[in-house]
Structures are given as C-alpha cells and as structure tokens.
Amino acid sequence: MGDHVWIDQRTGTELNVEIGARVVATQAGQIVLIDDNEQELHFPAQTKFRSMHISSIEGVDDMILLGDLKESAILHNLHIRYKEDIIYTYTGSILVAVNPYKSLDIYNIKYMRQYSNKKIGELQPHIFATGDNAYWSMQRYQHDQCIIISGESGSGKTESTKLILQFLAATSGQHSWIEQQILDANPILEAFGNAKTVRNDNSSRFGKYIDIHFDKRGAIEGAKIEQYLLEKSRIVSQARDERNYHVFYCMLAGMSKEEKQALDLTTASDYVYLNQLDGTIYCDSRDDAKEWATIKSACKVLMFSDEELNDILRLLSAVLNLGNLKFQATTTQNMDTCIVANRNVLRLVSKLLKLDENGLCDGFLKRTIFAHGEAVVTPLNQEQACDVRDAFVKGIYGKMFIWIVEKINSAIYKPQDRVAYRKSLGILDIFGFENFQRNSFEQLCINYANENLQQFFVHHIFKLEQEEYDNEHINWKHIAFEDNQRILDLIASKSLNIIALIDEESRFPKGTDRSLCDKLHAHHSKNENFIPRKTDNNINFGIRHFAGNVFYDCQNFLEKNRDTFSQDLMKLLQESQSKFLRNLFLNEFHIGTETRKRAPTLGTQFKKSLDSLMSILSACQPFFVRCIKPNEYKAADNFDRALVCRQLRYSGMMETISIRRKGYPIRHLFRDFVDRYRLLAPGIGPSHVEADCRAAADKICKNVLVNQDYQIGRTKVFLKDAQDVFLEQAREQVMARKILILQNSIRTWIARRQFVTLRQSVLLIQRYCKSYRDARRFQIITNGFTRLQTQFHTRMLTLRYSVLRSRILNLQRFCRGYLARQNYSRKLNAILILQSEVRRHIAQKHMRRYRLQEKMYREAEQERYEEEKRLIPKLGAKRAKEEAERKYQERLKILQREMSEQERLEQQRAKENRLLIEKKIYTDESDVFNNIFPSSGDERTTPVHRPTTVTTGGMQSTLGNMPQSKDNIERIDKPLPLPYQDEDLKEYTFAKFASTYFQGNATSYFTKKTLKQPLLAIKSERDQLAALAIWITILRFMCDLPDVRTPNVIHQKQSVMTKIHSTLGRKFNKKDLEEAQKLNELIDNQPILPPPDNSPSKQTTNDPSSASNKPTSRSVRQKLVNMTLKRKSKLSTDNAITRLKDLDILSSTQQIKMSGMNPFLEDRPTSNLEKLHFIIGLGIHVAELR
C-alpha cells in the first residue's frame, strides 16, 4: 500500500501514454488503485505494474530532474502541479505554462522584485524568472536574447507576452515615457488583431515579434513590432459563437450617440459582418465600452492625431456598412448579372470613403479585363459581386492594420546611431500548430512557421543535451537524430516546392484551385512527407508534419495567395478625396498594371518575413515558453490529459525525450540511487550514512550492471532504459526474499498479540452487551408508547383537516360557478344588444337607399312622361316618345357621371378622414384661434361651403348611386369601420417636447431668468427679438420681473377717451361706448340663475329680451376684442430696446437692427391689461411666434 506505479492504458488512440496511480488497498485477491484523475481502479493481484521513479511521485520544478523522462512522466508531473495551482514548470531553460483560467495573485510588484536578478532554479518556476534570466543574460554576455512564446489559441500566449513586457519595464527601473508607450501598444494591437473564438475570448489572430532595445545601462530606449499573417477572412465571416475583431464592438459600445450619428453607425446587431450565424455580439469576459476608453487613451499616448483617429473610424464605419451592401440577381442578354439592392448603403459608403458613387457601383458589378491591349468589361453575377465586395473590405482592413503597426513603430522606434550601444531582447508571440477539420492556406503558412520554429527548437535542445554531458564529464558518443528539414524542403526550400507551385499557379490568369491541386500531386506524389488525395474528385493534399498528418483543402488557395482585389476598385481608390485612404495603397499605386502581375504574393511575402525572423532568432540566445491549454471549456481546475498530451507533442516538447533517449535518458542523483538500489550490493548503508555516495553508486553498478553501458558523472548516474528495467527487476527479487522473512516473524508476533487482546476484549464486550441489552429493552418500551400517542394525535388532526378542506373546496366550487355564470350572462346580453344595434343600423341604411332609389325611379318616369306629352303636339307620338327617351338617356348618362364623380369624392374624403384618424392629426391650433379671434376687425366671416342640392337633376344624379349589379349590392354589406380610438396622451408630455425642440441648454423647468435666445428655432431675427420681448412681458405680467420704474407723466395726464382711442382706435365712437357701458351694466345687474332645464316646457319663455340680448352682447364683445387686438399688437421700439439693454440681452448689432423695427413696447410702465394685449396680439395672433 502507498506505492506509486504506472498503469498501461494504451488503447491505440492519440492518448497512448501511461497514467500514474497510487495503491490504496489489497483485498480479496485484487489491488485497488487511485489514478491521477481520482478514479478508483481494480486489478487482479497478479497484475504487474511498472514502479514510478521517486522523482515523479511528488513532482519536480524542473522536468530534466525526472528519473524517467517520458511522455507519461511529463504529463503526470504537470497534472499534479496543476492541482496545486502551480502552473509553471521548467524543462531545463524551457518554461511550460498551463493556463489556469482563473486569477492567481502571483503577478504583483512583490513577485517582480522577488524574481529580479535571480537565476533559473533559485526560486519556483515563473514567467518573471524567464524574463529576468533573458534580461540579465543580455547584460552579462552582451548578446541579443529572444523569448519564443508558442501554444494553441487560448493557452495564454498573449497574457504571457504582456506579463514579460510589464516585468521588463519594471526591471529596467527607468519608468520612462517610452516604456509606457510600449505597454500601451498592446491594447491597440489587441483591438485590431484579436477576436473572440470558441477556444479563447481574446485570441490573437496574427503573429507578432516585439524587439525591445536597451541602452548600455540596461534601460529601455525603444522597440519595434513586426506582424505576421493577419487573419483577414475573419472580417467578412466568422464561425458560430465567434466574433469579429474587438475594435468593432468596442467602438459601437463606447461611442456616444452624437459620435455614432456623425459616422452613420447604429448598434452591432444591425451589421451583417458582426451578426452572422446567430453570432455572439457580447463577450462575458470583456467590457467593450471600458475597452474603448482604454484604446482611445493608448492612441493618445502613441501620438495618434485626432484627424488620424477620425480617418480610422470612417474606414471602420465603411467596412461595417459594406457588409450590409446587398446585390440582387438579374438577367441581362441571357447573362447572369446583378444590381445593388440597397442604393442608400452604397451612397453612405461612398461618402465615408470619399469615392464616386457610380464608380464604386461599377467596381462591384463589373470587371475590366485587358486582352491584347483592349479593355473588355464583363458583368458579374451576385456571388462574384459579393466576393469582390469582401475582397475590397479585407484589403482596406489589412492595409489599415499594417499602417497602425507602422504608426506605433514610428512612436516607439528610434534608429540606432553607428557609435551607440544597443542590445535587444525580442519576444515572439506566434500561433501554434493548427490541425482543423478544414485546413486552408492560412493553416499551411502557420504550420510552415511552426516547422521552422521546431527545427530551431530541436537544434537548441540537442545543444543543451551536449552541455549536460560535458558538465557531467561523461564519455558519450555522437547522438544521431532526425530533424524536419525534409518537410521544410517540401514546403518552401527546394525547387518546385509547394509555395513555389502555388505562386506559379497564382500568376496564370486561368489558374484554378483544381489545376493547382493536380500540379502538386504531379510533382510531389512520391515524396514520403506528401500525402496524396484519395480520389481525383477531391482537391486536397496532406503533409506529414512533425506533430502529425494534416490535410489541406485547396479551395480559395489562389485567391488568398494573390491577396488583392479588383483592379477597377484599385483605380477608383486613386481618385478618392481621402488622403488617408490613398496613402494606405500608395505602394500599390506605384506598381503599374503590367508589373502588378509580378507583385509578391502572400506566400512569398510570408516566406521572406519568416526567413528574416529566423535569421534574427538564430543570432539570439533563445528562451522558450510553451503555453498549454488544460481543457477546451475555458474552465478552472479541469485537466484534460488527452488535450495536454497532444499539445506537448505539437509544441515539440517530446523531441527532448527523443534526443535524451538516444543518449542516457534515465538519470539518478547519487543519494537517490544509493537509497533505492543499496539492497543489491551487500555492505552499503543509507545515503545519509555513506560518506562517499559516488563510490557506493559505482559499487552497485559494478555488482549488478556487469559489462553494460552506463556512465558515472559528477553528480548523477546515467542509464539506458534497458538497464533501468534490469535494476528494477533485480531490486524486486531481493525485496521479495527479504519480505518473506520479515513477514514470517511479523505474522507470528501479530498472532500471539491478537490472541491476548481478543480474550480481554471478549470479557469486556460481554459485560457491556448485557448492560446495553437491558437499557435497550427499556428504551424500546418507552419509545413504543410515545409513538402510539403520536400516531393517535396525528390521525385526529388529519381527519379534522380533511373535513375542513373538503368543505372549503365545495364552497369555492359553488362560488366560482356562480360568478362564471353571471359573467357569461352579462357578456351574452351585451353581445345580443350589440348585434341587434348593428343589424338595425345596416337595415336602416339599406332601407333609406332603397326608398331613395324607388323615389328616383318614379320621378324619372314622371319626367319622361311629361316630356313625351309636351312633344307630342310638335313631333307626333312616335317621334316625341323617341326624343323623350333620347333626352332621358342623355340626362341619365350626365347624372351618372356626376354621381360617379360625387361617389369618388366621397370615397376620397373618407380615405382622407381615415388617414387623419390613423395618423392622429388633431385640429390645427390656428383654426381654434381664428374661431375665437377673427383676423379682421369687421364682422365679415368666411362663407361656409355646403354641398349643393340638385333640384332638377337630383333624381337623375341619384340614379348613379343605385346598385347596378349584384357586386354593388354586396359591397354595401361590407363591415363598417371601427370607431376612432384616442391616443394615450401620457406619451405627449411637455418635458419630452422641451428636450426635443428647445434650443441651447433650456429645460422644461420654469425659470425667472431672462433668456439669451428664443426657446424654439426662429429664422427671422425680427421674430427672435419679438419672442424675447414676449418672454419679458410674461415675466412682468406674472410679477416675476419688476416693471419699469420711470413713469410717463404725460401719459398719466391723458383723458379717458384718449386712452380708449389709443386702445380701440378713432373709429370707436360715442355710440359704441354707450353700448359697451349698457352691456357692462346688464352683465353686472343680471341675477345668477339656476341651470336651465332641458324640458320643452321650460325652454319656451315670454321674455323677448333674453333672445335679443345674447347676440347683441356677443357682437359687442367680439368687436371690442377685435379692435383691441388690432390696436395693441405692437408697442414702441425705443422702450423695447431700452428694456433689452437693461437685461443685457441685445448685442450691439442687434440694437442697430432693432432701431428700424416697428414698435414692440411702449416707453412707459404698462398695465396688466396692456401686457395681456401685447402677449395675445403678438404671441398668439402671429403664427410664427405662437
């Protein structure tokens, strides 16, 4: 029990490694074990297990120290450390980082100081230790260093890069502006180059190499960033549950409403490029609005101007709106063509890109091909137009991303002087090996980059192995190992390699993906690392990479390799009014039409940049960080052994095992070797007793491993795999003999001691059992009576509850039935009444129509009869009858047309009324005002237009409305329109009106302050001044503003008639004054009567004055109001200017303009009546100021 062993669980699948386990019990001929996954396993007792090396039991910080460096040992070591939240492990100088998917408090300033200036191995493994070792190696050896961070998406590469940058910025100790700029470059690159994927919420979709430059003192003086292979296809399409690049969502979430309106932007769900396949718009682990503020702040730090930011935002808006551009398939001259379905989107895009709208439309719908010096324009179908649009979008975004990287470099990079000292430390954050269900051109480039890095890694590991042997001073032979140079030759090194053939086919105008696939199979089908397709119908091929076989689909290989878009759109970009957009494609413009065919392809550019990168890395001392993703669900404390094992193989970690196995893979420290195998050589004690453990280890090896290949180094014993197995078997045999002797003695002693103990225990048990039996019996009797009482009470309570519940349910049932019947009866009566009323209304309508028709028929016959009778003396009976019939038919036709026209007008009026009801248009306020206050002073009113009644031809015109057929009769029975329903007036509030239409910062709340400008937008400056005067008058009328304190003496001495004439005019004579006085007396002396009774008996009165006084009083009042409005609608200009000057409202220009205006206010204190006249006459009577 307690031994640790390896269980062979090889099933032939990808996870074909052993799993560690611990023996917990041996019972019933079985061995019970608990494996690393905490699962209990049972095996027969005779099952043989391989013993676990002592170094693998508790785990080690450096996996080089593992006694048996195998896949199973590495996986077991990572697993047990991951359970303890120890996510970093060394393999020599290689750091293995397992993503914990949770926050760990190991990255603060305390840890930065703790790991500063410490060698690898002095402290626990940490990402800071790798960064510190690289930094001090650069300082100590005056040699450039590099840190290569690789791993799958979601393994934590980007976070590791940021942590190293933060550590280097803190270690340099300068805290300068350039350090802040380098750190702030990350948010910008992540926004434009990272996206949410199924595997990672912040996945880098491009590779980058950050080269940090240091001066002689070790301070950061600059940096330079190189980007590799941005995934441009993500801009136009994403997989399910994935997002586009972060910048689109951050921009739409963080911008204000005004900023989005300026760029014609709405929300993320409105754009096709952001909402595909029920795509995810939100990301739980990110705050897009907060990230947008960080991005803008970082752009300011990196010297992005406001104009440049605005240009970038315009391009991003254009990209989103281009995704909404739709094409409608059509047919022109038996050819599949298309047109733009939403022209408004095209117009918006052309405005954002500052391009000609028609030219942009032609660029999407047509293609110009030059053949034999002539231009041939070919229309595109719907699918081709969409491809041209997507290629255009990818080209714009790709060029913008390159410009952003160059802009960042211009801020953080300083060219080196010839005499200046400069050393660099590079950080490579690059994509790991990829093998999906469908692999395309991007995966080929990514895996080619990983093949180069694997080649670089293998040579470095072999070099470390040689250093290990040299340090231990052992005799060793040259280790033969195979690298992946043949795979590199197949992809890009030798002539007619895969990339070269792709470039060659891309330059052919008629080259297709199928012809490319055929050419690849023709040249490389016999290559051992090339996997041919299974059938000729497929257009795919496979490559045996170092991490496994990968099959590539050739579809869209040539298009992605060309990495360009329509020449027509390229020419159109030259004519753009946007200087920023033209500068993005400046290099493309310089290449002529003929030379553009020979422009470097994406594969060639990537190969050159990768060769340059490998040259830089070869000149540096490398440090490797292998990031491992523990599970596919981004969950904490979840270790998927199969997934981790696959990543270890893909990352090249197992190459370390391969190289070491070809040398001496099993290594033991002298004290561990002596403690484990000292039983094989008599006379050797434990390691803490032996003075010379090296001599003891040598003695054991000579005693057991006779004439075998092993090495004794300075601190370790180096063994082969076979020798390790032999030592274990010999140890088991010796242990078995010793154990048998020991078991014999121990079992005898145990049996004797068990007998004595058993006899004493039996006596003690008897005594306690008897006591317990009696107490138990008593307790059983007591509990029985208690349960009996409980059962009795329970049954009584249950019976009472059941009876009460049954009665209540019956009562509820009767009550609900009664209420339901009452409700049904009321509804049924209401429906019957409603039906009877509707049917009565329809029947009355039909009866009126039929009676009118019958009357019109009789009148028509009577008129024809009279006409015939009148013409008989003149024309004779026969001709008179014909003439009367002819005139009768003519009148019928004329009246038929009139009635048709009348019916059309009625239908038109009904339609207009229905539209008014639907749009909820209310009566214009000007009509209400004109009904109360006529515009002129006289009593004339506009005549009311009433429909004229046809007397002579009424009978004939009515005939036009008579139903002529069954269809017309059925049309009468159509359902009547529903009554108009009033709107909810709660939606129309003054606060909402004020927030929508008031100018400046004016709100709906009342204020006593004077206004600087009118509340509403008034075009005329004269009306604006009038509005301000009205506001002042209202304030003074409500006593919220003091009136003019300088009285006009002359005005006070005026007579009453003068004041009346000034108010009502000279036409108001003495007779009118007397009538007004009589009216006033009549109103004052009239007694207050109770409300009139509507009964007919009380409506009739004998007092004639009551009928005559009402129109008289109404006419006099109306005349007074009209004359007052006519005279008091304006006041003097001087006083208005003076008051506005006192309130400091008018500017000098407004004062000059106002001096020529008609008077607004009188130059005197005004009474409340005068103020009221001014407010009504100017503020209500004038439509512009109402």
How far is Cα 667 from Cα 673, in angstroms, rounded to an integer?
A: 9
Q: What is the CA radius of gyration of the chain?
A: 50
In this structure, are residues 425 and 205 in contact, taking their beta carbons and an 8 Å threshold?
no
* Residue reference for tokens 């990402």: 127
- Is there a binding annotation on residue 154? yes
How far is Cα 90 from Cα 1186, in angstroms, rounded to an integer?
A: 83
How far is Cα 1140 from Cα 1029, in angstroms, rounded to an integer?
A: 8
How far is Cα 418 from Cα 1035, in angstroms, rounded to an integer?
A: 79
- Is there a binding annotation on residue 1000? no
How far is Cα 1082 from Cα 1086, in angstroms, rounded to an integer?
A: 6
Name 508's Cβ contacts closer than 8 Å, sequence gap at least 6. 515
Q: Is 737 helix (H, G, I), strand (E, B) or coil?
A: helix
- Is there a binding annotation on residue 151? yes
Q: What angle is formed at CA 437 by the lines to CA 433 and CA 439, rounded to 5 degrees?
A: 55
| 399 phi and psi angles, rounded to 5 deg | -65, -35
Question: Integer distance in angstroms from the first to the last C-alpha of the chain?
Answer: 99
Q: Report the candidate in 364, 268, 943, 241 with the shortest Cα–Cα distance to residue 634.
A: 241
In this structure, are residues 277 and 239 in contact, taking their beta carbons and an 8 Å threshold?
yes
Which amino acids are annotated catalytic?
A: 153-154, 158, 200, 203-204, 432, 434
Strands annotated E in 152-280: 194-195, 203-204, 207-214, 220-228
Name 378's Cβ contacts closer than 8 Å, sequence gap at least 6. 366, 367, 368, 369
In this structure, are residues 203 and 225 in contact, taking their beta carbons and an 8 Å threshold?
no
Q: Are strands 716-719 and 88-91 parallel, antiparallel or unpaired?
A: unpaired
Helix, strand, coil share (%) of the chain residues, nearest 5: 55, 10, 30
* Residue reference for tokens 């940049």: 609
Q: Which two tokens stand for residue 638?
A: 């979840």
Amino acid making up residue 608: K
Q: H helices within 432-551, ranges in order?
A: 441-472, 485-488, 498-507, 513-524
Strands annotated E in 554-636: 621-628
**Which strands form 548-553's sheet, in the order they lie side by side?**
530-531, 540-545, 548-553
- Is there a binding annotation on residue 155? yes
In this structure, are residues 7 and 21 in contact, taking their beta carbons and an 8 Å threshold?
yes
- Is there a binding annotation on residue 687? no
Half-sphere exposure (Cβ direction) of 187: Cα atoms closer than 13 Å: 20
How far is Cα 693 from Cα 711, in angstroms, rounded to an integer?
A: 15
* Residue reference for tokens 């970009």: 573
- Is there a binding annotation on residue 836? no
How far is Cα 578 from Cα 315, in angstroms, rounded to an integer?
A: 10
In this structure, are residues 546 and 652 in contact, taking their beta carbons and an 8 Å threshold?
yes
Q: Is 1123 helix (H, G, I), strand (E, B) or coil?
A: helix
Q: What angle is formed at CA 714 by the lines to CA 713 and CA 715, rounded to 5 degrees?
A: 95
In this structure, are residues 385 and 365 in contact, taking their beta carbons and an 8 Å threshold?
yes
How far is Cα 1061 from Cα 327, in angstroms, rounded to an integer?
A: 75
How far is Cα 262 from Cα 255, in angstroms, rounded to an integer?
A: 11
What does the CA dihedral 1021, 1024, 1030, 1034 come to, rounded to 10 degrees? -160
Query: 308: burial class by Cβ within 10 Å (0-12, 13-18, 19+)?
Result: middle
Binding positions:
151-158
Binding positions for ATP:
151-158
